Each structure stands twice: as structure tokens, then as C-alpha cells.
Amino acid sequence: MTELLGERMGKYRNPLDEHLAELVDPALTPGAAELVAALRATRETEGTVWIAPWRGLEIGLRGLLVASEAVRAVRVLEPADRPGPRDLVLHADQADPGELVVRLFKALQLEHVRDSAEPFPSYVTFDLETTGTDVASCEIVEIGAALVEGGRVVDRFHSLVRPVQSVPASATDVHGYSDADLTAAPAFVEVWPRFRAFVGDRILVAHNGQQFDIPVLRRLANTSDLLFFDTLPLARALSDESAKLEALAERFGIPLARAHHALDDAEALAGVFTALWRERQRRARTTSLVNLLDFLGLSLALAEDPGTDKDRHALAEVGHIYALGRYSSCLDYYAGERERAGRDDAPTRDAVVERLGGHRLLERLRTERSPAERYPSAVSRLEALVAASAAPTLAAGIRLLLERVALSTSDGVEIDPDRVNLLTLHSTKGLEFSRVYIVGVEDEQLPGGRELDREATRDIEEARRVLYVGMTRAMDRLVLTRAETRFGKPGRGSLFLEEMGLVP
């Protein structure tokens, strides 16, 4: 528990994120696509991956492949071995053995993050122009939408809308529409059925839709039946630059004829969404498989020359730290495999440590201060709480702990900005957090879950809404959990996760 609570909470960035500008997209790494295709073929035909020996490098590469679980069988090639037609043999280039290390790691990244050309097969980007910015009272004066299929705009929807209230001058300054422009336009009640038919059962995509466009539509149409995706959080997650639609369109070279005109904005958003998704996929590929960084660092050290290009240098810099870190067993694995195979030509464990940065760095990384040493006051209070919550069973102890925590207050105490907030779904409305963990996304645990048996539609919809409120509180990372069994009995299912396609 002290280890968990000793972790700092902030915007989630893995070590490869920190070097993103220096790293090459695996999809652009020479030979990586061909190698991942060969690995897939070997796995699908139940073949074996053989690694030709080269000064101990084969041990590091075998560890990398085994840890990735990308293939079923990995062996070091001995003189008496005869690989079959379904097998794959990896040879290190004598002049540049590190090239194979990087190519293999990038191939494994490609296998781990398989691209989808488009986020959804078919969707509708849309935008609204309104009489103001107050979600609770503004009216729509223009709706524009673009139907996207296969990454291309194949149809469009556009209509001016006559509001009941007069258009304020401040709104006219933004989009250019005055009362005179809208006199002959249809009312929203006439436009809505046509727009709804245009959308059909497709996902709506809007920029800042969560905070503005969707609430406005829901209020005016008196409906909650709108499935949507908001591109604003995605844009903010991918870059610290301006996330305004005009700025994004300019950054990605997307034409935007007239900003703050609904159809023009909707068409531009179609291109921006595609560009954002591709950037998301690139980043996901490039920063994936952090769990293999220790074996990557070990392999690059065994290759001796880390090379001069920024990509390999960055991978080596991060990988070396992970290989020496206290949570990795790759050095013990290497020493054991070297001794078992009798590889006297391979460097010793001590020699590898020196290549990775030296024994002094190893000692410093593996004697990192515990949370109790870093936060003595906080851990002392926690230990006192845990001790005071002692009970015959774990469940009873947790209940006592939560009761004591719930009864405590922070009056007069400086709040730690990195604290973990334990909240109910109902109480999260209006709040935002870097990471959100929703525990127990199961039919019996969620509000309204028991109404599933009697098909109480309104209560089930309320349960969906409450869950969605909790999910949308996450700015950087959302984790949903469920239990297969509770109190020794099988769970009743996870309807809402299944509806979202999150349960196999």
C-alpha cells in the first residue's frame, strides 16, 4: 500500500514519450514492416525463431522476443541445428549488430499496436453556430455536418436555423449571421428530424462537443440518444500547442474556407480528425512496449556500438536505465543464460553493467529511497490509520479504514496536489482528474443495475449516464475494472462494458 500511495500522480508520460521528438516511427523504420510480417507468419505456422550467436547478443534478443510473447518458440542457433521452412532465422550484421536490435524492437512495436486506417468506418463531423456561449440558454442559428466514409467526405448537411430570441451583436461578430439573415430559415423543430436522419446511427464527431455542441443539441432536441466523440481532448493530449480548430487545421494543412461557419468547420474537422488519429497512432506505435526497455537496453549494450543516430541513442539512453533498474531481472537472466550455454566469447555480467553505465549507477538505481523515506510524515499517518483499522478479515479492515478516512477533514491543512481522490460516480460531476479509475463496472455494482432484471429503461439510462459522467472526468487516462466473481459467486455480467465493445 505504501508503494502505491507513494507514486506521484500527474499527466501520464512514459519514458519514450519524453524522447518522442528523437524517436523514429516504427512504420518508417527500414525493414521493420517486413520483419513483423515474417514474425506473424512464423507464429501462425507454429514455426521457431532462431537467433544466430554473436558475442552474447543472441541472449538479449531472445529475452526481448520471449518477453514480448510475439512468437511461440525462440531458440539460439547452434551448429547442429537445421531450421525448417516455417522457421525464421535472425542474423546480426557484423558491421552494425545494433541495427538488428532496433529493427526487431520496432517490429514488435508494430505488432503490439496494429493500425486502423480510420477511427470509425463511418461517422459525421458537425458544428453549430449559436446565439451565444451559454449552454443552458443559447439557440442554434446554423448546423453543418459532413458524412465521412473511408476517410473521405461523401455527403454534406447544411441548414440555417431561425431562433426564437434575437441574435446578440456579440454572436453576429463571431459568425456573421444577424436576425435579417435568419428570417426565412426553418425553426429548429423542422431542421432536427432532417439532421437526425442524415446522422442515422453513426457516431457524431465534434470539437469541444462534450462541453458545448452536444449539450446544446440534447437540450433543444430533448434527447440523450447521441453517441459522440470529442476531438478536443485528443488534440490536447497530443500537443501542448493551441487546440483550436483553426490552429489545428493550419498545423495539418487542412483547408478551412471560413472559420465559425458550421459547414466549413465541419468539413475541416473531418480532415483534422483523420490527422489527429494518425498522429495518435504514430505516438502509440513509437512509445509502446515500455515493458521491454530493459531487454532492449541490454541488447543495445551487447551490440557494443549504440550508433550515432538520435533514434538509437534515445532508445539506448532509456533502455540502459531500465536494464540497471531494481525492477528488472534481465542482468540475472543474461548471466544465467551465458553460463548455461557456455558462451565464453560473451562479455561477463560485470562487463555488461559497465557498458550500461557502471556499477555506481546500478547501485544508485537499485537503492532508491522507499516511499517511507521520501514521505515520512504521510506514510507515518497512513501506517497509523492501517494499524487502527486492524480487523479479522481484509474486507472488514478496508471498511474500517474507509470509515476513518471519510470522517477526516482537510480543514486547515495544505492539500497535496498529487493526492488520490476517492469519490462516488455521482459526486464527480463538474470535476476533472489526470487519471480516473472506475472500480466495479458490473451490472450489480452500478446505480440502476438491479433494474436490468425488470427492464426499467429509465433507470438503466440513468445508470449509463452516471457511468458516462465518471468516464468523462479523465483528462489523460481512464481505467475501468470489473470482477469475474464477488464473494465467491460468479458476477452477473458487465452490460455497459459490452455495449462499448470493451469485453471480449
CATH code (residue 127): 3.30.420.10
Contacts of 486 (CB under 8 A, 6+ apart): 442, 444
Q: What's the mean pLDDT in 129-141?
A: 92
Position 89 in a domain: yes
Give the C-alpha separation, 478 to 168, whole Å: 40
Q: Are residues 135 and 240 in the same domain?
A: yes
Q: Which of 414, 440, 472 is the last residue of a domain?
A: 414
* CA nearest neighbour of 135 among 244, 210, 245: 210
Position 11 in a domain: no
Longest dimension (CA), the chain: 89
| Per-residue confidence (pLDDT) for residue 473, from 0 to 100 | 81
pLDDT of 306 above 70: no
pLDDT of 405 above 70: no
Q: What's the mean pLDDT in 299-311?
A: 84
Q: Are residues 258 and 327 in the same domain?
A: no
* CA nearest neighbour of 305 among 104, 102, 106, 59: 102
Q: How far is CA 42 from CA 48, 69, 75, 104, 112, in A?
A: 7, 13, 13, 14, 16
Q: What percent of the chain has pLDDT over 90?
A: 48
Domain with 382, as residue range(s), is 372-414
Q: Which of 265, 284, 303 is the last residue of a domain?
A: 284
SS3 493: coil
Q: Are residues 349 and 377 in the same domain?
A: no
Q: Are residues 128 and 188 in the same domain?
A: yes
Q: What's the mean pLDDT in 369-389?
A: 77
| Per-residue confidence (pLDDT) for residue 307, from 0 to 100 | 65
Q: Could you tell me which residue, 445 or 83, shows the higher pLDDT?
A: 83
pLDDT digits (tens, 9 = 90+) for 309-347: 899 999 999 999 999 998 899 999 999 999 998 888 899
Q: What's the mean pLDDT in 129-143?
A: 92
209-220 b/e with 16+ CB inside 10 Å = b?
beebbbebbeeb
pLDDT of 409 above 60: no
Position 236 in a domain: yes
Identify whether the C-beta of residue 331 lies closer than 8 Å to the C-beta of residue 305.
Answer: no
| Range with the poorest average pLDDT among 162-176, 265-279, 442-456 | 442-456
Position 353 in a domain: yes
* Mean pLDDT comparison of 1-5, 222-226, 261-265, highest-scoring range: 261-265
Q: Are residues 502 and 426 in the same domain?
A: yes
Q: Look up residue 469 and give its DSSP letter.
A: H
pLDDT of 10 above 90: no
Count of domains forming the chain: 4
Identify whether the C-beta of residue 57 lies closer than 8 Å to the C-beta of residue 28.
Answer: no
Number of neighbours of residue 481 by Cβ within 10 angstroms? 12
Q: Are residues 503 and 474 in the same domain?
A: yes
Give the C-alpha separation, 350 to 360, whole Å: 12
Q: What's the mean pLDDT in 227-235?
A: 90
Where residue 449 falls among pLDDT bands split at 50, 70, 90?
low
Where residue 5 falls among pLDDT bands split at 50, 70, 90?
very low
Q: Are residues 91 and 213 in the same domain?
A: no
Q: Are residues 348 and 325 in the same domain?
A: yes
| Per-residue confidence (pLDDT) for residue 4, from 0 to 100 | 43
Q: Are residues 274 and 127 in the same domain?
A: yes
Q: What's the mean pLDDT in 394-399?
A: 86
pLDDT of 418 above 70: no
Q: What's the mean pLDDT in 251-278?
A: 89
Q: Are residues 307 and 343 in the same domain?
A: yes
pLDDT digits (tens, 9 = 90+) for 34-61: 999 999 999 999 999 999 999 999 999 9
Position 4 in a domain: no
Q: What's the mean pLDDT in 213-236?
A: 89
Position 430 in a domain: yes
Q: Are residues 256 and 130 in the same domain?
A: yes
User: Which amino acid does the sequence have at 115?
Assistant: D
Number of neighbours of residue 30 by Cβ within 10 angstroms? 12
Where residue 1 falls among pLDDT bands split at 50, 70, 90?
very low
Q: Could you tell me which residue, 24 or 497, shows the higher pLDDT?
A: 24
| Per-residue confidence (pLDDT) for residue 224, from 0 to 100 | 78
Give the C-alpha separation, 361 to 139, whole Å: 63
Q: Which of 382, 399, 414 is the last residue of a domain?
A: 414
Where residue 465 falls among pLDDT bands split at 50, 70, 90?
confident
| Per-residue confidence (pLDDT) for residue 401, from 0 to 100 | 80
Where residue 8 falls among pLDDT bands split at 50, 70, 90?
very low
Q: Are residues 318 and 207 in the same domain?
A: no
Position 27 in a domain: yes
pLDDT of 462 above 80: no
Position 9 in a domain: no
Q: What is the mean pLDDT of the chain?
A: 85
| Per-residue confidence (pLDDT) for residue 338, from 0 to 100 | 93
| Per-residue confidence (pLDDT) for residue 255, from 0 to 100 | 84
Give the C-alpha separation, 175 to 131, whole Å: 10
